[in-house]
Structure 1
Amino acid sequence: MGFIGWVVLGLIAGGIAKAIVPGDRKPTGCLATIVLGVVGAVVGGWIGSRVFHVGIDRFWSLSTWGLAVLGSVILLFIWGLVTGHRK
């Protein structure tokens, strides 16, 4: 998957994660959402390769999107705990 694929995956996965995780609903910029999604995709890919023996390798794969969103949700939850933005 190329750079543009990671950016698109990050933007969509970050947006889905922000919609799933309850808590602070302050609007975040597009760049922050992309970074959240891309880092979450990396985290999800690492978890997927260690636990499920599935990686993030194809853009149009359901496992790629599921792992990216899962990683983004985990990352957003941890970020909320660290910064104290969760209620």
Structure 2
Amino acid sequence: MGIIWTILIGLVVGVVARFLKPGNDPMGWIMTAVLGIAGSFFAQFVGAQMGFYQEGQAAGFIASVIGAIVLLIIWGLVTKKK
């Protein structure tokens, strides 16, 4: 049940991040869930490096959304057409 819960929370985080970041981000719901999960891992890693979280401690919802927005911005810069 843990992995299903993680995917559902990742989907919610991804949807919130895509809603908050302006611009067009064409991706399906699977990539949105992956974005949310990756944003959570990114926020946990950065937070642990900065001393906000202990090793193995999950990042909060707001930090996960911020991490997903950062990944969306990076993804937009990498895939930008010239």
Q: Residue 40 in 1 paired to residue 39 in 2?
A: yes
Q: TM-score, normalised by structure 2?
A: 0.82
Runs of at least 4 residues off by over 4 Å: none
In angstroms, what is the RMSD of aligned CA positions?
A: 1.9
Q: What amino acid does structure 1 have at the position aligned with 2:44? A: G
**1:44-55 equivalent positions in 2, closer than 5 A:** 44-54=43-53, 55=57
Structure showing greater relative contact order (alpha-carbon pairs closer than 8 Å, 6 or more residues apart)? 1
Matched residue count: 78
Distance in 1 of aligned mates of 2:37 and 2:25: 20
Q: Residue 65 in 1 paired to residue 42 in 2?
A: no
Q: TM-score, normalised by structure 1?
A: 0.78
Q: What amino acid does structure 1 have at the position aligned with 2:70? A: I
Residue in 1 aligned with 2:5?
Answer: 5
